[in-house]
Amino acid sequence: MSRSTTTGQPHRSARAKSGTQQTGAADAAVLAELRPGQSVELLKELHILTREGRLNQDSRRKLKQVYHLYQFIEPLLAELSADGHAPLLADHGAGKSYLGFILYDLFFKQLGRGEIYGIEWRAELVQRSRELAQRLGFARMHFLDMAVADAAGAAELPERFDIVTALHACDTATDDAIAFGLRKQARAMVLVPCCQAEVAACLRGTKALSLSRTPLAELWRHPIHTREMGSQITNVLRCLHLEASGYQVTVTELVGWEHSMKNELILARYTGQKKRSARERLAAILEEFGLAQALGSRFGLDDAGSVAV
């Protein structure tokens, strides 16, 4: 009996040691995926990391998207915070404010100046974000319980913002974020549009007329094509609207398509050069697809049917 106990002990110790080594390797692998200076405690509070400091597949995908977006936003913040300027950033459709908290943790906290405003219509998420910011001591983060469409006229917000972001703001909320950015004279906008139904509905409404008028209507004859075509047209109109309003626009992928199907990233930087060709093409596309009456005002069309300057 004693021999069995004696010989069994090293096996248990070896197993325990192996388990510890595996845990240590897993922890090291997680830390290797985090950006330098990233607070592990913040990621736990956001439920991106488990209480044990682990990443599951869903949270890894979420973190990857936010980090990729940070790579585009950080150089803008660095440029706009030069000469002691305190940058102001508005995050529309903030949800649980993953993006805002990580931006604050990685950039604003060390900078020591500047503020982030998270705008979200779900009151319970706003309250949760306020409580988390207070716990973490993120004093220059503010959260407003309101729809994106109402934010531009809100007295609680500054008159101007440096950067406007919208990560997966649903349907027309991306357009509302653009309108907010234009009104607040944003120096840059960083947008990742989400689901879009409005243009698709317009295309469905005029489908019979369009099919009789042009063979190009075959591009949205089937429902799945209508949905995708509507989304594509919407983002094209957004880019033209921004260019017509004085922004230089770049469109690229956020991350690999395996991480998100809503993957189009629109980067707009204000130059003040309003492109006449963009205004003309915007008007022509709205007219061609029968969208001018329904969506003209959203994209700057005046009552006469031309694009307002």
Question: Going from the N-terminus, what domains does the chain have, and what CATH number goes with each?
Answer: 57-295 (3.40.50.150)
- Angle, helix 223-244 to helix 276-288, in steps of 10 degrees: 150
Q: What is the pLDDT of residues 119-156, one digit of tens each?
A: 999 999 999 999 999 999 999 999 999 988 899 889 99
Distance of alpha carbon 199 from alpha carbon 126, whole angstroms? 30
pLDDT, position 241: 96
**Looking at the predicted structure, is the pLDDT value of residue 9 above 80?**
no
pLDDT, position 269: 97
- Over range 21-46, report the average pLDDT: 72
**Looking at the predicted structure, is the pLDDT value of residue 282 above 90?**
yes
End-to-end CA distance of the chain: 93
**Looking at the predicted structure, is the pLDDT value of residue 61 above 70?**
yes
pLDDT, position 11: 59
Confidence of residue 285 (pLDDT cuts 50, 70, 90): very high
Confidence of residue 170 (pLDDT cuts 50, 70, 90): confident
Q: What is the pLDDT of residues 152-169, one digit of tens each?
A: 889 999 999 999 999 887
pLDDT, position 274: 95
Q: CB under 8 Å, gap of 24 or more: what pairs does 224-230 form?
A: 226/200, 227/197, 227/200, 229/200, 229/203, 230/196, 230/197, 230/198, 230/199, 230/200, 230/201, 230/202, 230/203
